[in-house]
C-alpha cells in the first residue's frame, strides 16, 4: 500500500491527517516523528519550511508532492533525487483564495481606495468617479491554475482583461497573449497589472525599470507571485516619480519585509504578509488522494513540474 510521508509544518499536521484520512481511511500515512523506514516511502509531501529537507534517505520515492504552488525552493534543494517527478500543488482552496485576493485588490485599485484614504486623512472632499470596469484594462501575467481563474472572474465582472503566458491560451472573455510581443503589449496596455507567474530564471526581474517605464502612466501593480519578479528599487523610483500609482505587494524579495524597509511606510504601497492564498488541507487533501490513487492504478501523476523550465 502506498506510503505517504507528511513533510509539512507540524502546526498543520493534524488538519492534514484528518483531511487525508477522511477521504481515504486506509491511507498509509506516516508523520516525521513516527518510526518508519525512509526506503519504504512512496510519496513525500514537501513544504519549504517543513521538517523534511534532506531527501537523500528517500531512495525509492515515486513522487515528491509540493504542498505549495510555487516550487522554486523545492527545485533549489540540492538533495533532490533526479528521477522521481516533482508535483506542484493545484487545488480549489488555493485557487479560489487567490482569486478572492486578486479581485479584491483589483477593485481597490480600480475604485481609487488608496488615493481616497489619503484625501480623507487630509480632510479633502475629493470628487472623482472611477471609470466603469469595462473601461479598465487589467493584465494578468501568468495564466496557470491561479491566473486563469482570476482572469475569468475579472472578465465576468466586466473588466477588460488580458492575460500573458508562455504558451498560447484560449480563455473566453480574456485577450490571451504570449511571447515577447505579447508581453510588450500587455505591459503597455494594462491599467492594473497582476503578477501570477512562477519565479524562474526567465521571470526574475521581469518588472524592471525598462518595463515599468513601458507601463501606462498611473498604472497599478499587484504582485501575488514572488517578490523577485519585480526590481524593487526600480519600483520605488517609478512610484516616487508618479509613473506607477500604487503597488500592492503580497510578496517581497526578503520576507518578512525587514524593519525600516521603504515599502512599509510608503503612501502608495500596500503590504500584505504573503497571505494572498494558502493551501488548505480540507480542500487540498483531494489532490493528494488523487495522486495516490493514480499511482496505485498506474496512471501518470498530475501537475508535474518541468525541472528545466523551473515551474
88 and 114 Cβ atoms separated by less than 8 Å: no
Of 175-194, binders to ligand NAP (CB under 6 A) are: none
178 sits in which H/E element: strand 174-178
**3-class secondary-structure state, position 18:** helix
163 and 140 Cβ atoms separated by less than 8 Å: yes
Query: How far apart are the C-alpha atoms of 309 and 311, rounded to whole Å?
Result: 6
From residue 38 to residue 57, the character string flagging contacts with ligand NAP as x (rule: CB under 6 A) and all else as - is --------------------
Give ∠ CA 170-174-180 in degrees, rounded to 5.
75
Look-up: residue for cell 496505485?
296
What is the separation of C-alpha 158 from the centre of its chain, rounded to a whole number of angstroms? 23
Phi-psi map region of 205: left, alpha, beta (phi>0 left; psi -120 to 50 alpha): left
Q: Confirm or reject binding of residue 251 to ligand NAP (CB under 6 A).
A: yes
Nearest to 291 by CA among 50, 64, 56, 77: 64
Nearer to ligand NAP, 29 or 207 (CB): 207
Look-up: residue for cell 515515486?
62
**3-class secondary-structure state, position 29:** strand
Strand partners, 207: 230
Pick from 190, 250, 268, 284 the residue near ligand NAP by CB under 6 A: 250
Nearer to ligand NAP, 129 or 167 (CB): 167
Of 20-28, 58-66, 121-129, 196-204, the segment contacting ligand NAP by CB under 6 A is: 196-204
Number of residues that bind ligand NAP (CB under 6 A): 31
Nearer to ligand NAP, 107 or 183 (CB): 183
155 and 183 Cβ atoms separated by less than 8 Å: no
Nearer to ligand NAP, 145 or 289 (CB): 145
Q: Confirm or reject binding of residue 93 to ligand NAP (CB under 6 A).
A: no
Q: Supply 87's cell numbers.
A: 508535483
Inter-axis angle of helices 281-296 and 13-23, nearest 10:
50
Of 45-53, 58-66, 126-134, 165-173, the segment contacting ligand NAP by CB under 6 A is: 165-173
Q: Confirm or reject binding of residue 227 to ligand NAP (CB under 6 A).
A: no
Active site (catalytic) residues: 226, 274
From residue 125 to residue 154, the character string flagging contacts with ligand NAP as x (rule: CB under 6 A) and all else as - is -----------------xxxxxx-------
Pick from 66, 162, 203, 211 the residue near ligand NAP by CB under 6 A: 203
Of 12-20, 25-33, 54-62, 221-229, the segment contacting ligand NAP by CB under 6 A is: 221-229
Q: Confirm or reject binding of residue 202 to ligand NAP (CB under 6 A).
A: yes
Of 103-111, 258-266, 270-278, 287-295, the segment contacting ligand NAP by CB under 6 A is: 270-278
Query: How far apart are the C-alpha atoms of 256 and 178, rounded to whole Å?
Result: 33
Pick from 162, 190, 277, 287 the residue near ligand NAP by CB under 6 A: 277
Under the rule (CB under 6 A), what is the footprint of ligand NAP?
69-70, 90, 94, 98, 142-147, 164-167, 196-200, 202-203, 224-226, 250-251, 274, 276-277, 311
Amino acid at each position: 500500500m502506498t506510503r505517504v510521508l507528511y513533510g509539512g509544518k507540524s502546526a498543520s499536521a493534524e488538519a492534514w491527517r484528518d483531511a487525508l484520512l477522511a477521504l481515504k481511511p486506509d491511507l498509509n500515512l506516516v508523520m516525521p516523528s513516527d518510526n518508519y523506514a525512509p526506503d519504504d516511502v512512496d510519496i513525500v509531501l514537501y513544504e519549504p519550511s517543513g521538517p523534511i529537507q534532506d531527501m537523500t534517505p528517500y531512495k525509492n520515492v515515486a513522487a515528491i508532492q509540493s504542498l505549495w504552488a510555487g516550487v522554486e525552493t523545492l527545485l533549489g534543494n540540492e538533495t533532490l533525487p533526479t528521477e522521481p517527478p516533482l508535483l506542484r500543488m493545484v487545488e480549489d482552496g488555493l485557487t479560489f483564495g487567490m482569486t478572492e485576493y486578486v479581485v479584491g485588490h483589483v477593485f481597490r485599485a480600480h475604485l481609487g481606495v488608496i488615493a481616497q484614504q489619503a484625501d480623507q486623512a487630509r480632510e479633502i472632499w475629493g470628487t472623482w468617479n472611477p471609470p466603469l470596469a469595462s473601461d479598465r484594462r487589467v493584465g494578468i501575467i501568468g495564466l496557470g491554475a491561479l491566473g486563469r481563474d482570476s482572469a475569468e472572474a475579472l472578465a465576468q465582472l466586466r473588466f477588460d482583461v488580458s492575460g500573458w503566458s508562455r504558451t498560447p491560451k484560449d480563455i473566453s472573455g480574456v485577450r490571451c497573449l504570449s511571447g515577447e510581443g505579447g508581453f510588450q503589449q500587455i505591459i503597455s496596455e494594462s491599467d492594473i497589472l497582476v503578477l501570477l507567474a512562477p519565479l524562474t530564471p526567465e521571470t526574475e526581474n521581469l518588472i524592471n525599470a525598462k518595463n515599468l517605464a513601458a507601463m501606462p502612466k498611473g498604472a497599478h501593480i499587484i504582485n501575488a507571485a514572488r517578490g523577485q519578479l519585480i526590481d524593487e528599487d526600480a519600483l520605488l523610483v517609478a512610484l516616487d516619480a508618479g509613473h506607477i500609482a500604487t503597488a500592492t505587494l503580497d510578496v517581497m524579495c526578503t520576507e518578512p519585509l525587514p524593519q525600516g524597509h521603504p515599502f512599509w511606510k510608503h503612501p502608495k504601497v500596500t503590504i500584505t504578509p504573503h497571505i494572498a492564498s494558502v493551501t488548505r488541507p480540507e480542500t487540498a487533501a483531494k489532490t493528494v488522494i488523487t495522486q495516490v490513487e493514480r499511482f496505485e492504478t498506474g496512471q501518470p501523476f498530475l501537475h508535474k513540474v518541468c525541472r528545466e523550465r523551473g515551474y
